Amino acid sequence: MTSYETSTRLHGAHDVPEGLPTQVTIYEVGPRDGLQNEKSLVPTDVKAEFVRRLVTAGLPVVEATSFVHPRWVPQLADAAELMTMLGEDGRDHPVLVPNERGLDRALELGMRHVAVFGSATETFAQKNLNRSLDEQFAMFEPTVRRAREAGLDVRAYVSMCFGDPWEGAVPVQQVVDVGTRLFDLGASQLSLGDTIGVGTANQVTALVTAFTDAGMTTDQLALHFHDTYGQALANAYAGLQAGITTYDASAGGLGGCPYAKSATGNLATEDLVWLLTGLGIEHGVDLEQLVATSTWMAGHLGRPSPSAVVRALGGTAGPAQSPG
C-alpha cells in the first residue's frame, strides 16, 4: 500500500488550510538524536536496519549518527562501523560532527552531509561543548569551512532556543544573534531547537518572525521540538503557520539530550505525520511502515514507544479513527 493510500484510508482527503505550506520535509533524527541517550547499547546491525527501514518508509532525510568522542556519547561509539555497514547509500545520510576531529572521520568515510551543533546559551555551551558562547564559533569555523571546501553540505543546529534549565528564559535576540552567526559560517540550513521542550506556539511565532526580520528566509530554517510539556505538535502547527517547511522528528518519539536531563523525547515522527496528513500536507511517508519500524525498535529497546500514534496504531488503543 502506498503512502497516499494509507493516508487516505486513515484520514480521507483534505484541502490544505489557507496559509499553510502544501508540502514539508521531515528530517528524521531517530538513529542519532533518538538513540544517543539510551542507557543500553543498541547493536550496530540493529541501528543499520533501523536506518534502512526508515528510508523504506519514505523518510527523505535520515540523520544516522554522530562522530563524537565515545567518552561523551558511548551509544554512538560505533559511528564509523555503522556508516561502513550502510555502504555507499550511507554516504548520503547526514552525520553530526562536533569539531574538526569528527569532520576528519566523516571525510575519511566519504560522507556528503554533516551537521554542527551549537548553543544559544552560555551555560549549555560550557556543559555541552566545553566552550564559552563566543568561543564555540572559533571551533565551528574551520570545521564548516573545511567541510564546504570538500564539497559537503553543512547543517547547523542551535540548541536551547526557547529555554535553558540553568538560565531560564532565553532572549529572542540572543537566539537570533547566535543562530545567524552560526548559519553565516557557511551552513545551508539552521535548525532551531527547543532542547528541553518548554516552548509554546506563541514563542515559535515570535522566534521565526525575529529570524526572518533579521534577513533569513523560512526555507533556511528548520524546527526541532521536544515534547516534555506536550507542546510539540502545537508548536509544529505554529511553525506551519509561520511558513516553516522542514521539521526534525524522531521515529517513535525516541530521544533526549545527554547534557540536559530535563530533555525528554523528541517530537514523534508518527505524530507529526498524523498531523500533516490530517491537514492535507504532503510529506511522502508511509505511516504504516513507519509505525511498524518504531514498534520493531521499541522491541529492541525493551519498552513501549512514547508516540501516541504508535501506541494507537500498534493495537493498544483500538482501531484508528480519522482526526478532526
Instruction: Please state the three-class secondary structure of 145-196 as a single string.
Output: HHHHHCCCEEEEEEECCCCECCCECCCHHHHHHHHHHHHCCCCCEEEEEECC
Question: Per the residue annotation, which of 257, 267, 279, 297 is the catalytic one?
Answer: 257
Give pLDDT tens digits for 102-119. 999 999 999 999 999 999
C-alpha–C-alpha distance, residues 267 and 222, integer Å:
13
Query: What is the rounded radius of gyration, in angstroms, for the C-alpha atoms of the chain?
Result: 18
Nearest to 306 by CA among 199, 193, 227, 232: 227
**Residue pair 4/276 in contact by the 8 Å Cβ criterion:** no
pLDDT of residue 265: 83
The question of whether 161 is a catalytic residue gets the answer: no
Cell of 126: 560550557
pLDDT of residue 260: 47
* Burial of 154: CB neighbours in 10 Å, binned 0-12, 13-18, 19+: buried
- The proportion of the chain whose per-residue pLDDT surpasses 90, expressed as a percent, equals 83
Q: What angle do CA 92, 187, 209 make, to 5 degrees?
A: 120
On the question of pLDDT at 319 being above 50, the answer is no
Cell of 201: 506556539
Instruction: Give the confidence band of 255 by pLDDT, cuts at 50, 70, 90.
Output: confident
Strand ranges of the sheet holding 189-194, from the earlier edge strand across to the other edge: 61-62, 25-28, 246-249, 221-225, 189-194, 153-159, 113-119, 95-96, 65-66
Give pLDDT tens digits for 184-206. 999 999 999 999 999 999 999 99
Residue type, 226: H
- The proportion of the chain whose per-residue pLDDT surpasses 70, expressed as a percent, equals 90
Q: What is the mean pLDDT of residues 257-279?
A: 80
Instruction: Give the confidence band of 167 by pLDDT, cuts at 50, 70, 90.
Output: very high
Range name among 7-21, 58-72, 191-205 with the lowest pLDDT average: 7-21
Q: What is the mean pLDDT of the chain?
A: 91
Q: What is the mean pLDDT of residues 56-71?
A: 95
pLDDT of residue 71: 85
Q: What is the mean pLDDT of residues 50-68?
A: 98
C-alpha–C-alpha distance, residues 149 and 46, integer Å:
34
Q: What is the mean pLDDT of residues 301-319?
A: 78
pLDDT of residue 38: 85
C-alpha–C-alpha distance, residues 256 and 262, integer Å:
8
